[in-house]
Amino acid sequence: MTAQDIQQIKQRFGIIGTNQQLNRAIEVAVQVAVTDLSVLVVGESGVGKEFFPQIIHTSSARKHGPYFAVNCGAIPEGTIDSELFGHEKGAFTDAKAERKGYFEIADGGTLFLDEVGELPLQTQVRLLRVLETGEFIRMGSSQVQKTNVRVVAATNMDMHRAIQEGRFREDLYYRLNTVEIKVPALRERKEDIPLLFRKFAHDFSEKYRMPALHLSDEAVELLRSYYWQGNVRQLKNVAEQISVIETNHDISADTLRKYLPENEQQTSLQLLRPQSSGDTFMNERELLYKVLFDMKRDIAELRAEVRQKNREASSPAEDVPHYNTDDYQVAEEVREEPASIEEAEKETIRRALDKYKGNRREAAASIGLSERSMYRKIKEYGL
């Protein structure tokens, strides 16, 4: 896909942003649309996962067929089977008439199962059968029916943990996850945050017939550095609250801070410190700072070790081991702390490239970057 094609998709569905991870997710959605493969859209709550099944449906041969979205987490466990597969009259107490389920009425189209991780285990068995054979049975019936439905599912759940805990079937997971589309969290799209806020502020300005918000430079930086636990949905709510409540629409960082929960402000600051290996949603710059701190510590330890070896080597002793001169070179290569995050990034990437003799894939993996991000950073810093 060309950049123009991706931009047309964004305009059609009202998607704002230039982030490369977001562009890649859109590209994969369009590429997989021409097939009938099952797709699993993963990402945190509020990132906009609901756009991607729509992109897939409208870009597929099924675009003239029905499209239904079902929130599996919002339907009571006792009625979810009836909603998805239908029921016969008298199948249960309140079944006063037969009812078609979504798999029947969506025949020839696309069915979006949002929060699929919330499905009960019994329903998961039924869903697996539909995906594998295209067959289902209404509740209270013994007649097998056929359907031709494209399933796109979405979840914000850690599916591997759910499988380990016995809450989700492993065979169903792999059947749904033929192709995975990961939608990045808002804090991984820092360059898009001011664009999104500006769009929301403009929309609310028109809706409530008032001047649009204008952020100071410090307020913009606060937006970009904030953790955004609720992602795009939270950002939109903040923009609406400020638009309605504030009479002065020139917004400073202090004014903006009043609308941001303090616990998330603290989380944002904590991410700049070394974190445990269990952290999942650490963005590129935060991760690079962690790597830089770890690298400086390792170099200091190595320098102390080499000095000790040097003292031992200078004393008369038998079988004195030979030490690689590279160790001494690395030990002495202790630099001053970078003056900015950008310098930290550049220095960390340069060291990784040197270590792996210019192999960008291995260098990227060693510091936790995607290969695409590594290429972008190399170009950005002229390395």
The string of DSSP codes covering 222-243 is HHHHS--TTHHHHHHHHHHHHH
**Dist. CA 45–CA 195, nearest whole Å:** 20
pLDDT of residue 276: 42
What is the rounded average pLDDT of the residues 24-39?
96
Q: Which structure tokens are listed for 171?
A: 């065979």
pLDDT digits (tens, 9 = 90+) for 311-367: 666 655 444 444 444 444 444 444 444 445 567 778 888 888 888 778 877 777 777
Give the range among 36-45, 118-127, 273-282 with minimum mean pLDDT.
Answer: 273-282
| pLDDT at 297 exceeding the cut of 60 | no
* The residue type at 340: S
Report percent pLDDT > 90 for the chain: 61
- Describe the crossing of helices 217-225 and 193-208 by its angle, rounded to 10 degrees: 110
The amino acid occupying position 203 is D
Return the ∠ at Cα 118 (arms to 115 and 119), rounded to 5°.
110
**Among 195, 134, 138, 175, which Cα is nearest to 37's?**
175
Domains of the chain as residue ranges with CATH: 3-184 (3.40.50.300), 187-270 (1.10.8.60), 284-314+322-381 (no CATH)
Give burial (CB, 10 Å; 0-12/13-18/19+) of 309.
middle
What pTM does this model have?
0.68
Q: Which residues contact 233 (CB under 8 A, 6 or more apart)?
A: 45, 46
Residues contacting residue 143 through CB under 8 Å, at least 6 positions apart: 137
Kindly report the average pLDDT of the chain as a whole number.
84
Q: How far, in Å, CA of 29 to CA of 19, rounded?
A: 16
What does the block give as tokens for 276?
Answer: 């445990």
Which residues lie across from 108 on neighbouring strands?
A: none
Give Cβ neighbours of residue 170 (< 8 Å, ≥ 6 apart): 163
Mean pLDDT value across residues 197-213: 94
Which uninterrupted H or E stretch holds 144? strand 144-146
DSSP 75: S
How many Å is the Cα radius of gyration of the chain?
27
Amino acid letter, 344:
A
pLDDT at 362: 74
Residue range 212-237, pLDDT digits in tens: 999 999 999 999 999 999 999 999 99
What mean pLDDT do residues 90-104 have?
87
Supply 357's token pair.
């003799």
Please indicate whether residue 44 or residue 362 has the higher confidence score (pLDDT): 44
DSSP label at residue 176: H
Separation between Cα atoms, residue 342 and residue 289, nearest integer Å = 10
SS3 361: helix
Give dist(CA 93, CA 146) in Å, integer: 26
Task: Give the pLDDT of residue 104.
Answer: 96
The SS3 assignment for 169 reads: coil
Q: Burial, 21: exposed, middle or buried (Cβ in 10 Å; 0-12, 13-18, 19+)? A: middle
Cβ–Cβ under 8 Å, residues 60 and 30:
no
**HSE-up (13 A, CA, CB side) for residue 78:** 5
Question: What span, in angstroms and rounded, lies between the C-alpha atoms of 124 and 127?
Answer: 5
